[in-house]
């Protein structure tokens, strides 16, 4: 019983002395402009749903200090510490939870508040899209890389990679537009792989595009030759078709015109007609040639080139004669 009372008395006197010493230290600190506690976090840029840790500390490492954390006027928690900062774990899920936050350091009746601390909520970037434009020459390959992330808080920094090596500095875009990077390569014998990275102010978070592979040219300009060969063959085929058309068409038209201009009846046509008698002198001596129903005639026809061609027609006359010995 006496031992228990002595223990209570001891702790009462110790607490009184400690509190009096703390009050004296507090008064001394007030006289010496007692510094306010410091409230900090590893980052002040977060995304919704992110867990964060806040650290409240004081320069005086010898006092037992009670730390309290507030958001606006809402008390979030209390911790005691001596020489080590108090750690408060939070989750930022809504915009109003971005702050301001304050930390209070208290020793008995002496207390001080830290400065306000605010978080900035940032939307993470989505995986960017990489597009490649290539201009091929006989010796070089001129490449233009385009990278764009359609979501994420601005500004966004873009970096281009060939395989796993960065080939460009960080290109900042303050508008929703693609970043562009140009480079020139000698016609490679191996395939090339490119990708790009998109990153904003959100720390330890980056998004990467799909890898785009460009085939090799085999050490020569074979693909370039193939690109030229197909248009050349088409052009040659077109020239051949035109030559055949201009060569055959006039002949076809001329033959058609001649065929249409030949008269069907030599009797009374508008075509120039001449009558010719083709009678042998011997036959003329023996007697006159009887007139036949159809007369020998000649007609003229003109083709498209205005060349006159004479067409002659004759009616054969047969006489019955006595057989003679040879």
Tens digits of residue pLDDT in 194-210: 999 999 999 889 999 99
DSSP 10-77: HHHHHHHHHHHHHHHHHHHHHHTTPPPPEEEES-SEE-TTEEEEEEEE-S--SS-EEEEEEETTEEEE
Q: What is the pLDDT of residue 275?
A: 43
Q: What is the pLDDT of residue 212?
A: 93
The whole-angstrom separation of Cα 255 and Cα 262 is 11
Count other Cβ atoms within 10 Å, centred on residue 273.
Answer: 17
Q: What is the pLDDT of residue 254?
A: 76
pLDDT at 151 > cutoff 50: yes
Mean pLDDT of the chain: 77
Query: Which CATH topology does 24-121 take?
Result: Immunoglobulin-like (2.60.40)
CATH number of 129-214: 2.60.40.10
Q: What are phi and psi of 101, to 5 degrees?
A: -110, 150
Per-residue pLDDT tens digits for 255-285: 777 777 655 554 444 444 444 444 444 444 4
The whole-angstrom separation of Cα 94 and Cα 116 is 18
Based on DSSP, count helices (H) and strands (E) in the chain, helices before strands. 3, 21
The whole-angstrom separation of Cα 169 and Cα 160 is 8
Position 26 confidence tier, pLDDT thresholds 50, 70, 90:
low
- Full-prediction pTM beyond 0.75? no
Q: What is the pLDDT of residue 3?
A: 52
Least confident of 218-222, 313-317, 320-324: 218-222
Please determine whether the domains at 24-121 and 129-214 fall in the same fold group of CATH.
yes
Position 309 confidence tier, pLDDT thresholds 50, 70, 90:
low
Q: In the chain, where are the structural domains located?
A: 24-121, 129-214
Per-residue pLDDT tens digits for 48-70: 999 999 999 988 888 889 999 99
Selection from 221, 168, 164 nearest residue 193 by Cα = 164
Q: What is the mean pLDDT of residues 307-315?
A: 59
Per the model's pLDDT, the better-predicted residue between 224 and 250 turns out to be 250
Per the model's pLDDT, the better-predicted residue between 109 and 114 turns out to be 114
């Amino acid at each position: 019983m006496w031992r228990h009372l002595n223990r209570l008395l001891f702790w009462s006197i110790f607490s009184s002395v400690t509190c009096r010493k703390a009050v004296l230290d507090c008064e001394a600190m007030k006289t010496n402009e007692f510094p306010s506690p410091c409230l900090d976090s590893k980052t002040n840029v977060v995304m919704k749903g992110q867990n964060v840790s806040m650290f409240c500390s004081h320069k005086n490492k010898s006092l037992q200090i009670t730390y309290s954390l507030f958001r606006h006027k809402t008390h979030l928690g209390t911790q005691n510490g001596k020489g080590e900062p108090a750690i408060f774990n939070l989750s930022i899920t809504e915009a109003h939870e971005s702050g301001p936050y304050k930390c209070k350091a208290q020793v008995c009746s002496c207390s001080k508040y830290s400065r306000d601390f605010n978080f900035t909520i940032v939307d993470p970037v989505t995986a960017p899209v990489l597009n490649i434009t290539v201009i091929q020459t006989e010796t070089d390959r001129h490449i233009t890389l385009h990278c764009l992330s359609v979501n994420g808080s601005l500004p966004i920094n873009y970096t281009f990679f060939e395989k796993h090596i960065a080939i460009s500095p960080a290109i900042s875009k303050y508008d929703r537009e693609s970043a562009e990077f140009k480079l020139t390569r000698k016609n490679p014998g191996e395939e090339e792989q490119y990708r790009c990275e998109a990153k904003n102010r959100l720390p330890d978070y980056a998004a990467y595009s799909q890898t785009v592979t460009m085939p090799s040219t085999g050490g020569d300009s074979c693909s370039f030759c193939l690109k030229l060969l197909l248009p050349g063959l088409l052009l040659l085929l077109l020239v051949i078709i035109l030559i055949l058309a201009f060569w055959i068409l006039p002949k076809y038209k001329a033959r058609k015109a001649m065929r249409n201009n030949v008269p069907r009846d030599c009797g009374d046509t508008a075509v120039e007609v001449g009558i010719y008698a083709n009678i042998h002198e011997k036959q003329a001596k023996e007697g006159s040639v009887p007139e036949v129903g159809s007369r020998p005639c000649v007609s003229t026809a003109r083709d498209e080139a205005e060349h006159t061609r004479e067409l002659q027609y004759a009616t054969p006359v047969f006489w019955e004669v006595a057989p003679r010995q040879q």
